[in-house]
Structure 1
Amino acid sequence: MQELSQRALYEAAAEGLRVLAADPRCLAAAGNPGSALREILAPAALRYVLAPGREEFLQALSVLRAKGYAVTAEFVGEAGAGAAHGERTAEEYLALLGRQPAPERLGVDLFRLGLATSRAGAVRRAARILAAAEERGGEVVLGMDRSPTVDAVLGVHRQLADRYANLGLTLQAHLHRTEEDIRRVARPGRMIRLVKGEFREPPEVALGRGPALDDRYLDLARRLVDRGVRLSLATQDPDLLAEAVRAGLVGRDTEIEMLHGVRPELLRHHREAGRPCRIHAAYGTDWLPHLLRRLAEHPPMVLTALSDLGSRRAQPAGTGY
C-alpha cells in the first residue's frame, strides 16, 4: 500500500510539472534572456540541457561518445513560432551537421520548424535537414506532441518517408491509436522511437501511467521488433527495461534510449552490461519546458534540481554516465 501511495504521489507531482511546462505565463516569465527566473533556474536546467550553445554542445557530445554512448541531438533554441523561427531552427540543424564529426542522429520537433503555421514550410525545412543528414550518414527522428497534433506529424512523415530512408518517427504507447499507426508506418529497417507518452490525455484517447501502460508498451515493442524496425526503447522506467531485457527485446536492432540527465546511473548499468545505449541530448536556450518535462519523467529529481540551485554550479558533461 505504501509503494502504491508513493507512486501516486510521484504521478501527481509529475502532472504538476507538466502543467507548469504548458503554462504560457510560466514560459513567458523565463523566456526573457535577462529574467531573474531564468538566471535562478539555469544551473538546474543544465543538468538536462547539455549546453546553451553549439560549440559547448559539441564538446560535451564528444565526452558522451567517448564513454560508449550513441547520442541524439535536439536543438531547443529560443522560444518562438512561425516561418522565421522555423528557418532559424533549420539553419541551426544544418550548421550542426556541417561540423565534424556530425551527430549521427537528430531529434526534430516539426512545430519548431513552423508546422503550426505552414505545413509546406515545415516539410521543406525538414527535407533540407534530412538531405544534409543523409549526405553524412545520419538520420532524423521526428518527435511527437499531444494527441490532436499526431495526424499532422504522421502526414509529414508519410510525405517524406519514401524520399528519405533516414527518416524515423516517435510513437507514444499510451495513445489507443498507436497500434493502428504501427500498421501504417512500421516497415523493415525504419527507425521507430517508442515512448510511453508524456502528455496527459483523456481516458478515451490514452491510458494513464500504470501496469496497463507498461504491458502495452512491451506489446507494442514486440510488434515493432516483429516488423523488422530498428527500435529505440525510450524510457527511464527500470522495471520496464528489465522486463524488455528478459523478453529478449534488446539487441542488435533495439537500443535503450534515455533523456540526458534523467537516471544516468540506470543507463550506465545497461551500457556496462553490453547493451546498446543512446542519450537524447538537447541544447539551446529555450530550456524551461525541457527542464520541467525532464523532472516530470522522474519526480524525485526535483530534489537534485534544488541541490543544483543551491550549489549554483552546472554539472560537468558526462556526470553519472
Structure 2
Amino acid sequence: MTGKENQVVVVTGASGGIGRAVARAFGARHARVALLARGEQGLGAAADDITRAGGTALEIPTDVADFTQVDAAAERVEKEFGPIDVWVNVAFTSVFAPFSEIEPAEFRRVTEVSYLGYVHGTKAALNRMKPRDRGTIVQVGSALAYRGIPLQSAYCGAKHAIQGFNEALRCELLHDGSRVRTTMVQMPAVNTPQFSWVLSKLPDHAQPVPPIYQPEVAARAVVHAADHPRRREYWVGGSTVGTLAANAVAPGILDRYLARTGYRSQQTGAAKPAGQPANLWQPADRARDFGAHGEFDDKATPRSLQLWASRHHGLLAAAGGALAATALAAWRRAQP
C-alpha cells in the first residue's frame, strides 16, 4: 500500500455527518479523497474542508442506490487519482416513525440506500482491489446492527443486513487468501445533521439517544480501522459496548426497557420544526451545507475513553499482565 500521505480514499455520504468528518480526517493526512454524495452544496463544502486540511478532493455527485453511478464514480476516481486504497461506506437515509406508519416505498428506499448502497460500494471497490490483491473496505455500522430499537425499523434492518453481508464477505476473502481487507466500525449515537434532515413522522423533534458523541470521535475510529483492518470490527463508545453486552445477555429484558423508554428518548420534547427537509428522495443539502455536526453540540462529547482503550487493547493487556505479575511477586514476598 502507498504511504498515508498518498492514499486514495473514497468516502460515500461525504457531504455531512460522519462521512464529512471521515473525509476531513483523511484530508488532514494529505490523502486524495473522493467524495460521493447527492447534495452538491454539501459536496462542495466538504471539498473545501479537504483542501484546507491539506488533502486533495474530488467531488462526484452519486446516488449510492444506483450501482451504475457508484461503479462509474469508482472508475473516475482511479482515472484521476489512481488505484483506490481505502473505500469507506457511510451513506444512509432513514425514516423516524413506527413501522405501521412507514410506506412500503419509503422502506424500500431506505433499504436501497442504507443497505444496497454498501453492497454497491463494496462491489465497485472489490472489482478493482481483488485483481491487485490489496485494499481496504471499511463499513460504518452501528450498535443497531445488533440491537433493534423502536421508531427506526428501516434503519435497523439495513444495519443488520450490512452486518451479515460483511461477515459473509470476510469469510470469502479469508477463504481465497486475499489481501483485501474488510472491517466494520459499530457506532454509538452521534451528533450529525441526520436529525434535521431524515424523514420524520414523529410529533416532536428527533434526537440521538444519549450519550452522544461528536462525529470526530467516529472519524478517528474509522481512520484507525482503515489502518488496522485485520480486526473484524471495532466498537465505539461505552454505550455501544453496554448495549451489545446487554443484548447478548438479556435481550428480552432489553426489549421491554426499550418499549418503555425508546419513544421518549429519541425525541427532544420540543415540536418538530415546520418545513424540516427530508433527504429520503432528494438531498437536503442541495441549497445549503449542513456540515458534520448536528444541533446537539452542547450535549455531545468530543472523546471516548472506550475508543482509546479499543485502539490500545494490546498495550492495556500488557500493562494488565505486568500489574498482575507485580502483585503476584509482592504477594509471594509477603508469604512467611
Mark yes or no: TM-score above 0.5: no
Greater relative CO (CA pairs within 8 A, separation 6+): 1
TM-score by length of 1: 0.35
TM-score by length of 2: 0.33
